[in-house]
Chains A and B, each alone.
Chain A
């Protein structure tokens, strides 16, 4: 069983739509990361959170530690948001800094 599960695996939407990507994990964590991977392969960190909610521009990330669940929301989506969005967790092992990744959600925003 994967420690990090994302849904949906693929998401196609029209420009302007509100987007939600979900992430569930099965291990105790110290932090959860949302990352963006563009078609060229590069990975960019969007958020790191251990509780509550963070907002950056049109992106919002929330986490519920008790339910082991996080969501990434994109408001007023735009074709340039098209990318793979990856949830990754930092397991709560002393000294552990590694990330355990989900399989990613491929988002396509059509104009």
Chain B
């Protein structure tokens, strides 16, 4: 069964460093998302991406964050200068939209990347 994959599973970085989290969405999916979950808190939406551009972003997704689909298969989240409060589990998700009559589609989540900023 197709699945969303994410690398690395755990990333430790120092405050101020840049990190890139990588995701490979399900191959025929058209919508891609990043969510994060700070330990003990609920999952929060960061950004959605469709047709090679950001379709929606949250207040959390400020200038320190960027997303890219560099090669048609990978979907990346970059944090330019990490802060302690960026420590969280980051989930990538993808959904199939536009290929079926239904507007609303199930989102498939990757296993997450645990980011620890020290």
- A residues in contact (CB < 8 Å) with B: 30-31, 33, 35, 40-45, 48, 50, 86, 88, 90, 95-104
Describe B's contact surface by its main secondary structure: strand
- Assembled-state Cα–Cα distance A96/B90 (Å): 20
- Assembled-state Cα–Cα distance A101/B41 (Å): 10
Does A86 contact B33, Cβ atoms closer than 8 Å?
Answer: no
Give the B interface residue count (CB, 8 A). 28
A41-B112, A95-B55, A98-B48 known; A103+B104 contact, CB < 8 A: no
Q: Does B18 contact A (CB under 8 A)?
A: no
Q: Which of B43, B48, B56, B109 contacts A44 (CB 8 A)?
A: B109
| A103: nearest chain-B partner, CB-CB | B42
| B95: nearest chain-A partner, CB-CB | A97
- Assembled-state Cα–Cα distance A96/B112 (Å): 23
Residues of B within 8 A of A41 (CB): 37, 89, 111-112, 114
A50-B104, A96-B56, A101-B42 known; A45+B109 contact, CB < 8 A: yes
Q: Which of A43, A48, A90, A95 contacts B43 (CB 8 A)?
A: A43
Does A100 contact B107, Cβ atoms closer than 8 Å?
Answer: no
Does B31 contact A97, Cβ atoms closer than 8 Å?
Answer: yes
